[in-house]
Amino acid sequence: MVIVLDATEEYCQFESFNPQCWQREVIVIKQAFYGRRHAGRCTETEGEEIARNPRFFGCFADVSPILHARCSGKRECEVRIPDPELANTKACVSGLTMFLEASYSCAEGVRNFKIIGVTFATIDLLCRISRKHSV
């Protein structure tokens, strides 16, 4: 089931970013950030000293290329937080809990599979967006 929203969603520690599209549609990552851009749902459980202190925010990395490589062109995917590849961006100082903010759309797509020594999948996305699904 795809939830339609017009906002970027937060994915906290021990949650999963799990975009899904309808049949004949594929995921297109719109944007993704890992770190602590601002206080939000994921910081509510932290102590007041950290949760609302501005010096513990504003550190983040644009991880759109990572999520694009993992999810774009597929009908569904899953990224569990924490994720080692996202954590390797070292967006914030060690010891701070980081989280993912991401949004995507679903576009009509066609999957083409080619064999070149090893199986290599290429995705041809059609230019028109059939439905927008931002989560």
Any idea where the domains of the chain sit in the sequence?
A: 9-125
Percent of the chain with pLDDT over 70: 69
Q: Which residues pair with 34 in a beta bridge?
A: 61, 100
125: pLDDT strictly greater than 70 = no
pTM for this predicted structure? 0.72
Q: How far apart are CA 83 and CA 17, in angstroms?
A: 11
Tokens of 127: 């230019």
Topology annotation, domain 9-125: Jelly Rolls (2.60.120)
Burial class for 116, CB neighbours closer than 10 Å (0-12, 13-18, 19+): exposed
Q: What is the pLDDT of residue 111?
A: 52
Cα(23)–Cα(74) distance, rounded to whole angstroms? 10
* Centroid of chain to Cα 60: 13
pLDDT of residue 54: 65
Tokens of 74: 């597929």
Contact 75, 27 (CB under 8 A): yes
Identify the weakest region by mean pLDDT among 31-45, 88-102, 120-134. 120-134
Residue 70 in contact with residue 77, Cβ under 8 Å? yes
Above 50 in pLDDT, residue 82? yes
Strands 25-36 and 59-62: antiparallel
